[in-house]
Amino acid sequence: MALALDPTGANGVAVRTLDELKTVLDGVMLDLAPVYLQPSRMAPQYAALALTYMQDQGLDLKALRGGLGLSPIGQKSMAGGGAVNLPERLQRTAEAASWCAEHAPGIKVVSITANAPHEAGGSAVHELAFACAGGASYMRAFIDHGLTPDQAANALEFSFAADADVHLTIAKLRAARRVWARVADAFGCSPEAQGMRICAITSSRMLTARDAWNNLIRNACAGLGAAAGGADSITVRAFNEPLGAATPFARRLGRNLQIMLMEESHLAPQPIRQAAAIFTRRSAIAWPRRAGSCSSRSNVAAACLKPSRRAGCRTRSARRATPMWRNTPKAARR
């Protein structure tokens, strides 16, 4: 369950104290329904409140799953202003990752917001490059702080945008796993730690303010692509988001859409997600190379291009798909 917190209540649930957080999570069984905090400028404070709440409830932290939503690189990239105070923030994030690795290994400390380049107008390749560069930066900071490569990799989760292009979304999520497996292998992670936890968020830039009801179809296509691509969790935006604050009716439709995809369309089983991605296999093979070229400044290109048989990634030339019109008889083209 994704939880957005904001002290003003403008961009999430208004929480300022531990008592208010207890009110929000009243009745939520954290051992059955993991809570993942969304990245925000107050993420360090909310992470401390969340850990304190878990301890006060007497829960076994080693058995819990969830996320703290720390994202110093992502928040800095969206706010701008250069890298001022970024090393200090990375140091504090590494300390939180070290504590969680010892006391709560199932908690994801960092959320890499790869959907930020998408909302800024970037392509799928830019998302993959941002995810690789950000993940590699956190891996270096955590390893320098004393964590093992496996512990550093297990502290990360990735957020990608899902839009109305179903096949593009499927291919992007499949390519992201291939890219990250190579990066993690370059850091010396074991095959078990080379996996990627993906949180798919329906795109905001695809929504329209005019005829907002059409956004329901766009959100349905985005949710279908995210589920078929194998996302671990999906967040569906309210269809009336471009018009202002989401109404209870819009939030209910977003929730029901996820239930329909899971219960009625049967997109949850793993074999169905694998079969649905057959059409996009060529794109998933070709994109890691393009993402590596976009993130060469962060020394991620070498990791992306390094062959890794343990991760199941083989280097092969990407063949261009033949346009459909070339296979069409000349008489039918006229």
- List pLDDT tens digits, range 197-232: 999 999 999 999 988 999 999 999 999 999 988 898
Please give the pLDDT value at position 291: 53
pTM, rounded to two decimals? 0.78
State the Cα–Cα distance between residues 183 and 302, nearest whole angstrom: 9
Q: What is the pLDDT of residues 135-191, one digit of tens each?
A: 999 999 999 999 999 999 999 999 999 999 999 999 999 999 999 999 999 999 999
C-alpha separations of 102 from 90, 119, 142, 162, 286 in Å: 19, 35, 13, 34, 38
C-alpha closest to that of 150 among 141, 158, 159, 139: 139
- Domain ranges across the chain: 71-333
Asked which of 18-27, 156-165, 288-297 is least confident by mean pLDDT, the reply is 288-297
Please give the pLDDT value at position 304: 37
CB 11 within 8 A of CB 4: yes
State the Cα–Cα distance between residues 218 and 85, nearest whole angstrom: 39
Neighbour-count burial for 107-117, b at 16+ CB within 10 Å, e otherwise: bbbbbbbbbbb
When pLDDT is cut at 50, 70 and 90, the band that residue 3 belongs to is confident
Asked which of 181-190, 240-249, 313-322, 324-333 is least confident by mean pLDDT, the reply is 313-322
- Name the pairing type of β-strands 66-70 and 198-202: unpaired
Q: What CATH number labels 71-333? A: 3.20.20.240
Please name the helix (run of DSSP H) or strand (run of DSSP E) that holds residue 198, with its range, or none.
Answer: strand 198-202
Helix axes 124-144, 281-294, angle to 10 degrees: 60
Q: CA 174, 43, 193: angle at the middle one, nearest 5?
A: 35
Please give the pLDDT value at position 294: 52
pLDDT at 289 over 70: no
